[in-house]
Amino acid sequence: MTYQNILVETRGEGAHRTGLVTLNRPKALNALNDALMDELGAALLAFDADDAIGCIVVAGSERAFAAGADISAMARLEYREVVLSGFITRNWETMLRVRKPVIAAVAGFALGGGCELAMMCDFIIAADSAKFGQPEIKIGIIPGAGGTQRLPRAVGKSKAMDMVLTGRMMDAAEAERAGLVSRIVPADRLLEEVLAVAEGICQLGLPSILTAKECVNRAFEGPLTEGMVYEREAFHRLFATEDQKEGMDAFLAKRKPDFRHR
Ligand code: HXC
């Protein structure tokens, strides 16, 4: 498939490489339109299905991860159209079907749908230039791709209300303090650092990586008691894998593990 709105490449070597998707509508600060979201979904599913890929990175430009859903494409939409076409529902949530880890590399603006897209990723590594916000309220709408749901879970009610009701931005330092981002790195090293993190994940055993992601998502999305049952069963299941034997044997033999992803 050829893409018009994203760049798709692989990085690294060996059995499991990193799939890198770069949002690429620089003139519109990567505003997210239908075509871009269709392409992003297709690229993510293709990487997820590719045995040579162990981890996926979604990045933007230096100036913007994404400045939101494309306002020019939304401005004249009517209620009937958004309902009948399943606006957002039809192509924004493909990311949630991806089983491999997805890391957001955020520099510059991550606003509105851009912030929501970053929050759909498994974790966010931010450049010190990153600015997060849900400014929808300033244009007469509210977040529509999880901003009112994932942001409170990430940063708590008070800060989420502050962001959603005022539309203000938070910088990378505030986002890290609040727990929205996992790490901050200097802007000129963002991609390099995120790819190194992804490369580290690629070295690990895929069965345990997929299981770990699913378990943490249970914590984020469901009640504690059900999450605990799910985690325990998943934990037990990993004792059926060769990677568990290899990982533990390697530790005891003081050597590097050779995970075969089985
Ligand atoms: C369409 C956008 C855009 C957007 C920026 N552009 N954001 N086009 N949709 N969300 C375009 C501008 O129109 C402009 O095009 C070019 O990108 C550069 O932007 P400037 O405004 O000139 O840059 P700057 O002055 O640096 O300001 C940057 C900015 C500002 C603070 C990020 O662009 C801004 O406030 N953008 C809108 C942010 C926003 O409201 N996002 C939420 C959208 S609603 P031209 O052609 O003039 O050069 C949303 C709904 C989500 O996301 C719910 C469902 C998913």
Average pLDDT over residues 101-114: 98
Residue closest to 43 by CA, chosen among 93, 16, 7: 7
Protein residue with its CA nearest to atom 33 in ligand 1:
67
- Confirm whether pTM is higher than 0.85: yes
H-only helix segments in 203-241: 206-221, 224-237
pLDDT band at 91 (very low <50, low <70, confident <90, very high): very high
Average pLDDT over residues 51-55: 97
Q: Is 254 left (phi over 0), alpha (psi -120 to 50) or beta?
A: left
Average pLDDT over residues 174-192: 98
Percent of the chain with pLDDT over 90: 97
pLDDT at 1 over 80: no
pLDDT band at 212 (very low <50, low <70, confident <90, very high): very high
Question: Is any atom of ligand 1 closer than 6 Å to the C-beta of 133?
Answer: no
Protein residue with its CA nearest to atom 32 in ligand 1:
67
Centre of ligand 1 from the C-alpha of residue 14, in Å = 40
